Structure formats: structure tokens, C-alpha cells
Amino acid sequence: MIDNRSKYFVFVPFCLLAQAYQAQGIVKYEWKSSIKPFVELLIDNDINIVQMPCAESSFHNHLIRDPMGLKKYDIPEFNIHCETLAEDVFHQIKELIKSNYKIVAILGIEQSPSCCVNYIYTNHGNINRMGIFMEKLYFKIKEYDIPIIGINRRYINKSLKQLEKEIKKVRI
């Protein structure tokens, strides 16, 4: 049986493909729907794109919301919500690995209290830590050594290059 599928996967934040899920006033750059350069890179390389759930919009149960800092999100209810979502994503990742597929990378969005990788927005400026959802996912997947790349939407070149490098590694 001929089966021509790609065995490569990148997990992306929900809003990478649908920026309308971002809080109000956050979508300031030239791409109005997806964060296009990442999507184009993944499509051009025949990478399967898996959209991770949007922790914030699913917690509030509606899309239209004001941006909130870490302090407002770092509450037991939101932590429990992120733990459940991270467990679901972890389950998906384990299934893919078991099926001999390759997870090339996981992408996050810098400054998001939920999905950042390196720095997070607080009312007193940025602090270095992962977002609440991303941190929970990170602790679950640690043993698999999957690169996690944070996207700074204002200066995307660095993270775009990081992703290109990870794609090249699996394609050699």
C-alpha cells in the first residue's frame, strides 16, 4: 500500500494559526490571521501542524478578553485547567512517538502568561520563566528531548532560524 504521509510534526500554540484567539490589542504585526512565516516554513517542509489548545480563551469560555498578566492567571483554577490541557497534549505526543513519528519542535509565544518559553509579561516588566501551560507541558515531555522554541512576534527572525535548524536536523 502506498502511503506518502509526512512523519514530522510541530506542535504550535492555537493562535499561531488563528491570531483572533489572542487577547484584545495584542495582534499588532503585519499578519492578520496566522503568524505566516512559521506556517509557510512548516507547509513548505511538509511538516504536520498540530494546534495545541488555547488555555486562556478556553478558561474564560469566550474569545473577547482583555490582556491579563501572570498574577491574574496564576490561580489554582487556571493551573488546574492548564494541567488538564497539558496532559491531553502530552498524551498526543506520546501516541505520535509510539507510532514512530518525529516531533520536530514545540512552539510557544513569548510574553504570554500561558504559552511563553523564556520570558513572561508581568505588571512590573518581563521576568524569565515559562508560561503556566508551557511549564506543565515541559515537565511532562522533559525525557523526550523535544526542542521548545519561543516566538517573539516583534522580532521573529531568531525563532524562525531556530525552527529552520531543527527542521534541517531531521531532514539530513
Among 42, 55, 120, 163, which residue sits at the site for ligand SF4 (rule: CB under 6 A)? Answer: 55
Is residue 108 within a helix (H) or strand (E), and if so which, with residue range? strand 102-109
22 near ligand SF4 (CB under 6 A): yes
Inter-CA distances, 10 with 13, 24, 98, 113, 142, Å: 10, 26, 16, 21, 16
Q: Which residue has the cell 483554577?
A: 77
13 near ligand SF4 (CB under 6 A): yes
Nine cell digits for residue 69: 498578566
Among 14, 38, 73, 78, which residue sits at the site for ligand SF4 (rule: CB under 6 A)? Answer: 14
Among 11, 42, 47, 56, which residue sits at the site for ligand SF4 (rule: CB under 6 A)? Answer: 56
Calculated CA dihedral for residues 36, 117, 112, 107, nearest 10 degrees:
30
Distance of closest approach, residue 120 Cβ to ligand SF4, in angstroms: 11
- Give the binding-site size for ligand SF4 (rule: CB under 6 A): 13
> What are the residues binding ligand SF4 (CB under 6 A)?
13-15, 21-22, 54-57, 109, 112, 114-115
